[in-house]
């Protein structure tokens, strides 16, 4: 069933390729009519590559995204939280599995994708390059980052590639659990002791900026009209999603008693401290509802930081990739062993 693109040479975007005009027209018409493309269908080379890149990047993000919270599995403070956190991180691995599978059917082997990830040839979502130094970060990740992921994935579920769209819908069902569990943790902390509320505020300060960056840099005109938009590989612009995000989370955070700060960060991703020992942060002066537009104002995050982190120089880039690499290298003998003794029949009907 999988289409036969295999060599990585063929997996590059190439706008010079001349596709058959009749097929192209029929393909575009099918997409314009809200039709879905299936793995076996004819598709333009650049559609295949664009879709593969997106699904692969998404898959990478899921399994790297399992790492920051994974650090807290052994320290979760109650039996229920421990179970929920293990299940949540397990879900992210499951999302990765499904998305790698989708990508495999677009023509790249899973092994090659994992190898490219651990040698830095491909990327994953920037947000996972930030540290999670306290338990409250787990709460904020599940509320703010999974909340951002849901928004993004809801729009991706409107896309045109059937296997990816179905995977998005499935994933969103599980994200709903992550998000609710995150809300529950944040609410618990904010109705807890002074120390717990402070932990929550500090974690919020660390995650608010990265979450604004989550949706990518501000749109240029080209991104709103490019082929990936007309093919419905991408379905909403970065700025639209960011605006929707702030509209939802800024008032919710304030209602909980969380302040939205502009904070200066150290290279390790922690909030810098002033000479007097207090955190170097001020309240974002733009956070307020604009009655005329119905949208919340906010200060743009530090886009220089964004490009620096994406370029590899973030607080946790090295550590995240290295841990994935460790897992890949450490697991090699196991994968070889199972390949070497295939053929056991199933024993439960």
Partner 1 sequence: MQELSDKLKAPLTDLLLSIADDKLMLGHGASDWTGLAPILEEDIAFSAISQEEIAHAAALYEVVGTMHGRSADAVAFGREPSAYRCAELTSLGDDFDWSRAIVRQLFCDHFDLLRFERLARSLLKSVAALSKRIGAEEATHVEHADVWLIRLGRGGDESKTRAQAALNALSGAAAMLFEPTDGVDVLEREGIYPAGEGSLFDRWQEDVGRVVAEAGLTLEVVPSPADAVGGRRGRHGESFTGLLDEMCEVYRVEPEAAW
Partner 2 sequence: MSKIREQFQAGEGELASSPEADPKAYEVFIQLTRGQPHVHTGTVDAVDDKMALEYARKHYGRDQACVHMWVVAREAMISAGYGDDIIWPLTDQDYRLARGYAADVRRKWEQFRSKEDVDRYQKEDIKDAF
Which position among 192, 218, 257, 267 is part of the footprint of partner 1 (CB under 8 A)?
Answer: 192
Residue 18 vs 347, nearer CB to partner 1: 347
User: Which stretch, 44-52, 191-199, 268-276, 302-310, contacts partner 1 (CB under 8 A)?
Assistant: 191-199
Phi-psi region of 167 (alpha: psi -120 to 50; beta: other; left: phi over 0): alpha
# chain residues binding partner 1, by CB under 8 A: 52
Task: Identify whether the C-beta of residue 179 lies closer than 8 Å to the C-beta of residue 255.
Answer: no
Angle in degrees, CA 321, 322, 323, rounded to 5: 95
Of 157-186, binders to Fe ion (CB under 5 A) are: 175, 178
**Smallest separation, CB 73 to partner 1 (Å):** 5
Of 266-325, binders to partner 1 (CB under 8 A) are: 323
Which position among 81, 95, 265, 281 is part of the footprint of Fe ion (CB under 5 A)?
Answer: 95
**Distance from C-alpha of 109 to C-alpha of 101, rounded to nearest angstrom:** 9
Sort strands 289-290 and 295-296 into parallel, antiparallel or unpaired: antiparallel
Residue 17 vs 83, nearer CB to partner 1: 83
State the residues that interact with partner 2 by CB under 8 A: 1-2, 38, 40-42, 70-72, 74-75, 91, 94, 97-98, 101, 104, 109-112, 115, 118-119, 167, 170, 173-174, 322-323, 325-326, 328-329, 332, 335-336, 338-339, 342-348
Q: What does the buried/exposed string (b/e) look like for 108-135 if buried means 16 or more CB atoms within 10 Å of the residue's CB?
A: beeebbbebbbeeebbbbbbbbbbbeeb
Residue 82 vs 325, nearer CB to partner 2: 325
Q: Which residue has the tokens 């290295």?
A: 322
Does 331 participate in binding partner 1 (rule CB under 8 A)?
yes
Going by C-alpha positions, the residue among 262, 271, 249 that lies closest to residue 183 is: 249
Does 135 participate in binding partner 1 (rule CB under 8 A)?
yes
User: Which stretch, 39-47, 233-241, 259-267, 326-334, contacts partner 1 (CB under 8 A)?
Assistant: 326-334
Q: Which does 111 bind (CB under 5 to 8 A by kind): partner 2, Fe ion, partner 1, none?
A: partner 2
Binding mask 47-66 for partner 1 (x = CB under 8 A): ----------------x--x
- Provide the 3-class DSSP secondary structure of residue 273: strand
How far, CA to CA in Å, does 112 sit from each of 6, 8, 104, 297? 10, 9, 10, 43
**Distance from C-alpha of 240 to C-alpha of 165, rounded to nearest angstrom:** 20
- Provide the 3-class DSSP secondary structure of residue 265: strand
Token pair belonging to 18 = 């001349």
For 37, which DSSP code?
B
Q: Which does 195 bind (CB under 5 to 8 A by kind): partner 2, partner 1, Fe ion, none?
A: partner 1
Strands (E), 60-163: none
Q: Which does 146 bind (CB under 5 to 8 A by kind): Fe ion, partner 2, partner 1, none?
A: Fe ion
Task: Identify whether the C-beta of residue 130 lies closer than 8 Å to the C-beta of residue 145.
Answer: no
**Distance from C-alpha of 335 to C-alpha of 331, rounded to nearest angstrom:** 6
Residue 66 vs 309, nearer CB to partner 1: 66
Task: Identify whether the C-beta of residue 212 lies closer than 8 Å to the C-beta of residue 148.
Answer: no
CA 158 to chain centre: 17
Q: Which does 81 bind (CB under 5 to 8 A by kind): Fe ion, partner 2, partner 1, none?
A: partner 1
Does 344 participate in binding partner 1 (rule CB under 8 A)?
yes
Binding residues (CB under 8 A) for partner 1: these are 63, 66-67, 70, 73-83, 86-87, 89-90, 92-94, 96-97, 100, 110, 135, 185, 188-189, 192-193, 195-196, 323, 326-327, 330-341, 344, 347-348
Binding residues (CB under 5 A) for Fe ion: these are 62, 92, 95, 146, 175, 178
């Amino acid at each position: 069933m999988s289409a036969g693109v295999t060599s990585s040479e063929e997996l590059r975007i190439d706008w010079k390729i001349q596709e058959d005009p009749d097929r192209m027209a029929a393909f575009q018409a099918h997409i314009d009519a809200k039709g879905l493309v299936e793995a076996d269908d004819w598709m333009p080379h650049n559609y295949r590559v664009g879709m593969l890149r997106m699904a692969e990047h998404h898959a990478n993000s899921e399994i790297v995204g399992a790492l920051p919270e994974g650090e807290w599995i052994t320290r979760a403070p109650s039996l229920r939280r421990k179970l929920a956190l293990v299940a949540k991180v397990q879900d992210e691995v499951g999302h990765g599995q499904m998305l790698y599978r989708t990508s495999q059917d677009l023509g790249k082997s899973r092994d090659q994708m994992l190898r490219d990830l651990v040698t830095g040839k491909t990327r994953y979502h920037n947000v996972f390059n930030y540290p999670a130094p306290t338990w409250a970060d787990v709460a904020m990740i599940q509320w703010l980052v999974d909340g951002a992921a849901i928004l993004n994935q809801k729009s991706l579920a409107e896309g045109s590639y059937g296997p990816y769209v179905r995977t998005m819908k499935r994933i969103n069902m599980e994200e709903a659990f992550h998000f609710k569990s995150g809300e529950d943790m944040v609410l618990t902390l904010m109705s807890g002791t002074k120390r717990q509320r402070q932990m929550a505020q500090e974690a919020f300060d660390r995650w608010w900026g990265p979450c604004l960056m989550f949706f990518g840099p501000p749109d240029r005109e080209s991104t709103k009209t490019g082929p990936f938009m007309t093919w419905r590989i991408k379905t909403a612009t970065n700025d639209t999603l960011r605006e929707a995000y702030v509209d939802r989370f800024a008032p919710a955070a304030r209602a909980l008693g969380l302040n939205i700060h502009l904070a200066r960060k150290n290279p390790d991703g922690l909030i810098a401290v002033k000479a007097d020992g207090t955190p170097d942060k001020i309240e974002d002066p733009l956070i307020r509802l604009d009655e005329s537009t119905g949208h919340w104002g906010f200060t743009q995050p530090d886009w220089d930081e964004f490009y620096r982190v994406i370029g590899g120089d973030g607080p946790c880039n090295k550590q995240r990739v290295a841990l994935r690499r460790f897992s890949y290298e450490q697991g090699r003998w196991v994968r070889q062993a199972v390949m070497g003794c295939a053929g056991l029949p199933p024993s439960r009907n």
